[in-house]
Amino acid sequence: MKRIGVLTSGGDAPGMNAAVRAAVRTAIYKEVEIYGINRGYEGMIEGDLRQLKKSDVANIIHRGGTILRTARSEEFRTKEGRERAYKVLQEHGIEGLVVIGGNGSYTGAMHLSMEHGIKVVGIPGTIDNDIYGTDYSIGFDTAINTAVEAVDKIRDTADSHSRIFVIEVMGRHSGYIALHTGIGSGASGIFLPEKVNSINSFIQDLRKSSRRNKLFNLVIVAEGNENGGAHEIAEELKKDKAIDVRTAVIGHLQRGGSPSAMDRVLASQLAYHAVLGLLEGKNNVATGQIDKEIVFTPIKDSISLKKAPDESMIKMAEILAL
128 has catalytic annotation: yes
The CA-atom distances, in angstroms, between 91 and each of 52, 84, 95, 191 are 17, 11, 11, 50
Length of the chain: 322
Task: Give pLDDT tens digits for 58-97.
Answer: 999 999 999 999 988 999 999 999 999 999 999 999 999 9
At a CB cut-off of 8 Å and minimum separation 6, what does 60 contact? 17, 18, 20, 21, 67
Distance of CA 140 to the CA centre of its chain: 5
Say what the pLDDT of residue 55 is.
97
- Per-run averaged pLDDT (10 residues), the chain, 322 residues: 96 97 98 98 97 97 96 93 98 98 96 97 97 97 97 85 87 93 93 85 68 70 91 88 86 93 98 98 97 97 93 91 76
**pTM (two decimals):** 0.93
C-alpha torsion sign, points 4, 6, 9, 13 = positive
Domain span(s) for CATH 3.40.50.450 in the chain: 3-139+259-304
Say what the pLDDT of residue 68 is.
97
Beta-carbon count within 10 A of 173 CB: 14
Say what the pLDDT of residue 318 is.
87
Rama region for 168: left / alpha / beta (φ>0; ψ in -120 to 50; rest): beta
Task: Give pLDDT tens digits for 5-28.
Answer: 999 999 999 999 999 999 999 999
Say what the pLDDT of residue 113 is.
97
Domain span(s) for CATH 3.40.50.460 in the chain: 143-255
- Separation between Cα atoms, residue 220 and residue 195, nearest integer Å: 13
Tell me the CATH class for 3-139+259-304. alpha beta
Say what the pLDDT of residue 94 is.
98
The arrangement of secondary structure in 143-255, i.e. its CATH architecture, is 3-Layer(aba) Sandwich (3.40)
If you compute the radius of gyration of the chain from its CA atoms, what whole number of angstroms results?
A: 22
Distance of CA 7 to the CA centre of its chain: 16
Strand order in the sheet with 33-37: 49-51, 33-37, 3-8, 96-101, 119-124, 285-290, 293-298
Beta-carbon count within 10 A of 216 CB: 18
User: In terms of DSSP H, where are the helices of the chain?
Assistant: 16-29, 40-46, 79-91, 103-116, 140-161, 176-185, 199-207, 209-212, 230-238, 261-279, 299-304, 311-320
Say what the pLDDT of residue 28 is.
98
φ, ψ for residue 229, nearest 5 deg: -85, -170
Look over the chain and give the mean of its residue pLDDT values, rounded to a whole number.
Answer: 93
Residue 268 contacts residue 18 (beta carbons within 8 Å): yes
Of 128, 130, 141, 263, the catalytic one is 128
At a CB cut-off of 8 Å and minimum separation 6, what does 295 contact? 133, 134, 287, 288, 289
At a CB cut-off of 8 Å and minimum separation 6, what does 113 contact? 119, 120, 283, 284
Please choose, from the candidates 45, 50, 63, 53, the residue with its C-alpha nearest in 3D space to the C-alpha of residue 9.
45
Pairing status of strand 33-37 against strand 49-51? antiparallel
